[in-house]
Amino acid sequence: MTAPIVVAGASMAGLRAAEQLRAAGWDGPITLVGDEPHMPYNRPPLSKEFLAGRASLDSLAFRTRAEVRDVRWRLSTRVVRAALDRRTVELDDGETLPYRGLVVATGMRPRRLRCPGPLAGRHTVRTLDDARGLREALTRPGVRVVVVGAGFIGCEVAATALALGAAEVTVVDPLPLPMAGPLGELLAGALLRRHEQRGIRFALGTGVTAFHGDDKVTGVALADGRVLAADVVVESVGSAANTEWLEGNGLDLSDGVLTDEQLRVGGRPDVIAAGDIARFPNARYDGVPRRVEHWSIPTDTARHAAKVLAAHLTGTDAGLAPFAPLPTFWSDQHDFRLQSFGAPALGKDDVRVLDGDLDGDVLVGYHRADRLIGVVALGGRAAAAAAARHRAELLKQPSLTA
């Protein structure tokens, strides 16, 4: 019996990898292993539409395409160990699976604050079950919410909590501005003003030292001495890669899984990575390996990696250029949207307003060596459309490593 391709991780990246393996010509068996009980679903709405009650589970679930209906699904199951030299993975139920090829798509998990105090009342937003629990907590009358972390998820959850009727919403972050990492100071400042105008409070430039309460959180103690009253705390303080099962195989797991320019892991042609766990060099910019946690990355990585793996297993030449995606992200907050194409974080030293006004619809360009490498729009549909018009220009630009 032919050993399957094992896809470790049954979220969006794993599903797209299975689909793309079929599209690339692999007609052998495929087994997807995932620790959640749910079939793959769309995660971005968890902090917005689903949390707000405007989206159902059915609307989040990805449609299962005909070409992957013969895939074997192992849900509510984790991969706990891999022996790459023996081409086997071990599951948490004790079963050992041999494989012809392995797709590393186990993704990320939320980091948690290591502060003294009760756990009850503290939430993260990564899974469907996380969002269900948080929604139940947020819909209680007069709830006071503290969001720790002013990144994408933190800002989205804060906006949603306010829309659900929270009495108070405060965002805490050690940085001086929300989303300063991906946006830079100019646009982050405009974002802060918009949130404050809509009623969100901020405690910036400080961190959390402890949680107050006996059995459940009642307050959040800050490093600057303040204590914020809280019925609900949302921890949005970054992610950790689910790589423990790969330890002992000589891989670089210092930040996700290091791959080469073809998304191969550890120089092995039969092991590839897909999704936000992959740390890959992008020749479009500087070739420095980085992880990218944007919605477009699971599909982009799966498409390329599947072709590489299928070509190896079928003995054909994929003839692929190095993987060089154009990152894309968007974030809906209150009644406005952030829309980005390219790599703005790499051009934060040279930021220019390309169109509009920082207090209205605005399009901002990010430059490196005087070359536009990313755009971010903030505002309504017109601003998002202005950003989209730059996508073709960014795609046409030659690689910086050429």
Q: How confident is the model at residue 260 (pLDDT cuts 50, 70, 90)?
A: very high
Coil, helix or strand at residue 230? coil
pLDDT per residue as tens digits for the range 207-224: 999 999 999 999 999 999
Nearest partner of 276 among 126, 58, 88, 115, judged by Cα? 126
pLDDT per residue as tens digits for the range 109-157: 999 999 999 999 999 999 999 999 999 999 999 999 999 999 999 999 9
The percentage of residues in the chain with a pLDDT greater than 70, rounded to a whole number, is: 99
Sheet holding 168-173, edge to edge: 122-123, 232-235, 144-148, 168-173, 201-204
pLDDT at 400: 65
What are the angstrom distances between the C-alpha of 2 and each of 14, 27, 85, 100?
A: 20, 11, 18, 8
Judged against a pLDDT cut of 60, whether residue 402 lies above it is answered with no
Enter the tokens of residue 122: 């503290």
Burial class (CB in 10 A: 0-12, 13-18, 19+), 308: buried
Q: How confident is the model at residue 66 (pLDDT cuts 50, 70, 90)?
A: confident
pLDDT at 364: 97
What are the angstrom distances between the C-alpha of 402 and each of 124, 272, 285, 399?
A: 42, 24, 10, 5
Give the integer Cα–Cα distance in Å for 256 and 243.
7
The answer to whether residues 90 and 77 touch, using CB atoms and an 8 Å cutoff, is no
Give the integer Cα–Cα distance in Å for 14 and 268.
19
pLDDT per residue as tens digits for the range 153-191: 999 999 999 999 999 999 999 999 999 999 999 999 999
The percentage of residues in the chain with a pLDDT greater than 90, rounded to a whole number, is: 87
Say which residue the tokens 């539409």 belong to. Answer: 49
pLDDT per residue as tens digits for the range 30-40: 999 999 999 99
What are the angstrom distances between the C-alpha of 210 and each of 83, 117, 147, 207, 304?
A: 41, 6, 14, 10, 45
Nearest partner of 298 among 22, 31, 40, 69, judged by Cα? 40
pLDDT at 319: 81
The answer to whether residues 330 and 339 touch, using CB atoms and an 8 Å cutoff, is yes
Give the integer Cα–Cα distance in Å for 216 and 212.
8
Using alpha carbons only, how large is the chain's radius of gyration in Å? Answer: 22
pLDDT at 159: 97
